[in-house]
Amino acid sequence: MTFNQLVTRLRSRFGSLNMEKKYQAEIPCRRRKTNETLLELAQDIRRLMMLAYPGDRSAMAERMAKEHFICALDDPELELKVREKEPQTLDSALKSAQRLEVFKSAISQRSGARQRFNRHVMEATEPSSESLEERVVKIVQDINKSQKQSIASNQRQHKEKRNKKVDKQDVCAATLSNEQSWKDEMLKKLCDLEVAQQTTDANSKKIAAENETLRKEVGRLKHMEQVGSIPAATAFTASQQQGGNRETRACFNCGKVGHISRFCPHSRRRANADVQFNDERMQSLHVNGTSESSRLNYASCLHAMIGNPKYDCLLDTGSDVCLIPKRIVDSAFIRQTNRTLKAANGSAIPTLGEVTLPITVGQYTTQIVGLVSEHVSEPMLGIDFLTENKAYWNFNNSTIRLGNQEYTLHSRHDKRQWCRRVVLMEDVVVPARSEINVQTKVQFNKLPSLEVDADWGTEPMHVRDGLHTSRTLIPRNVWSDIPVIVMNVSEQSIALESGTLSLISSKWKLLQE
């Protein structure tokens, strides 16, 4: 073993290399321990900051250290007073906290001091000289007096016990009478509630009957209106046909009326772009899946075996190349390539390389050459695969011919119509009763289209018992290292594996002030 290898192993064993995430999660959970001084707390916060953000000595890092120090005080009153001082650095916050703690301890010691008592010195009286007989008589008198006092106290106690017994009997009688009156009052209230409930039910039935009558009347009026409007609509259609259809013909490029695509003044639409219809009733229909319709779920998936497992491969004629998810490819077979992957809106999608895999569809066996990416959920067969294998796609029957056999296409098993989702990039442990930022990545069900002005984000979601995620705005054209706040409100730590924490992303409309 060489010296450099020994140094490398020692650093990996005892150093802080690749441990930044651990220290970044540990800093917000740091709290002041019992009998721990403020100086020790500040030094530990600075140590954790140096380990969590090595090489960062900016003003922002100093402010973050100051905020973590104030939160770690674990004393709301002291934290409020320190924030009133508005410290800018960790050292200034430490000085303010030390000064306030000294003042607080001095005031508590002064208020808790011992009370002083005044001592009085009195002159003792000398005992008078009495005879023995007088002392005996005095002792006898004292004994008789004590006996009389004991007898009187016993009589008084007996009398008090008798009076207490009588009072208890009176209290029990009063309690019984109060309980009986309370029961009578509750029974009366229950009867009133039943009567009110019956009245409410009768009124609701009456209102429901009136609503049903009104609904039928409205339906009848609508039907009469439609029947009366049929001749006018027929006459209009006939006049339109007589005038010719040239003026109402829409352009295939921009969708506007008045010209055809050959003389369209707008730029040509890209072949991979979305096809949208100008009719308001068809605004939810898009080619590349950027907007889904809850009623339509076309059959565009082909059951195929890539290796041993079987997958639902999406047939995408708008994609120039096949796309393979990373999870189904062995990293050893991925080779470098100079080809890049871009969506229809021009944004680059990261790829890991190129791979060649065997694919079997029924009795038909061939090879697929595609780009490997972490941002696709299922295999996508592009136009290169369809062209190379001379595929014939029958859209009417939802079948595709490969070789001499026809194979039936299917719709997706996942009935949730989603375009993209956010999944966890690496394994992470969320500490108990804390929140952390986890790194996520975007996965596409269909590649992005020309809608470059659309913003996407995730909604708050309850993942499991005690684990919640916050609302997150996804930056445009950013597909990896997206921070999502995860909060654990339970008393135990929760472990999350990479690829889990699947959050469905939807379009957002940002409102400007």
- Name the most confidently modeled range: 78-82, 243-247, 473-477: 78-82
Higher pLDDT, 179 or 391: 391
Smallest CA-to-CA distance from 319 within 367, 376, 404, 277 is with 376
Q: Is 481 left (phi over 0), alpha (psi -120 to 50) or beta?
A: left
- The answer to whether 391 touches 408, Cβ cutoff 8 Å, is no
- Angle (CA) 155-159-162 rounded to 5° is 140
DSSP-derived 3-state class of residue 278? coil
The CATH class of 301-408 is: mainly beta
CA angle 386, 392, 397 (to 5 degrees): 125
Percent of the chain past pLDDT 90, that is, above it, reads 3
CA geometry: angle at 295 spanning 294 and 300, to 5°?
Answer: 95
CA distance 121 to 136: 32
Q: What single letter denotes the amino acid at residue 58?
A: S
Tell me the domain boundaries of the chain.
Answer: 3-105, 247-283, 301-408, 420-508
Cβ atoms of residues 41 and 61 within 8 Å: no
DSSP 430: E
CA distances from 319 to 288, 304, 341, 371, 468 (A): 10, 19, 10, 12, 37
**pLDDT (tens digit, 9 = 90+) per residue, 449-487?**
554 456 777 888 888 788 888 888 877 777 778 888 888
**Cα separation, 379 vs 306, whole angstroms:** 9
- Least confident segment among 11-15, 375-379, 466-470: 11-15
Could you give the CA distance from residue 324 to residue 374 in angstroms, rounded to a whole number?
A: 9
**Mean pLDDT over residues 204-225, rounded?**
80
Name the 3-class secondary structure at 71: helix
What is the dihedral angle through the alpha carbons of 322, 323, 329, 334, rounded to the nearest 10 degrees? 80
| Residue 132 or 276, more confident | 132
> Model-level pTM?
0.39
Reply yes or no on whether the pLDDT at 89 is more than 80.
yes
Whether the pLDDT of residue 405 is over 80: the answer is yes
Nearby residues of 423 by Cβ (< 8 Å), 6 or more positions away = 440, 441, 443, 498, 499, 500, 501, 502, 503
Averaged confidence pLDDT in the chain = 76
Q: What is the fold, at CATH topology level, of the domain defined by 420-508?
A: Deoxyuridine 5'-Triphosphate Nucleotidohydrolase; Chain A (2.70.40)
pLDDT at position 270 is 44
Confidence of residue 400 (pLDDT cuts 50, 70, 90): very high
Q: What percent of the chain has pLDDT over 70?
A: 74
pLDDT at 231: 44
Amino acid at 199: T
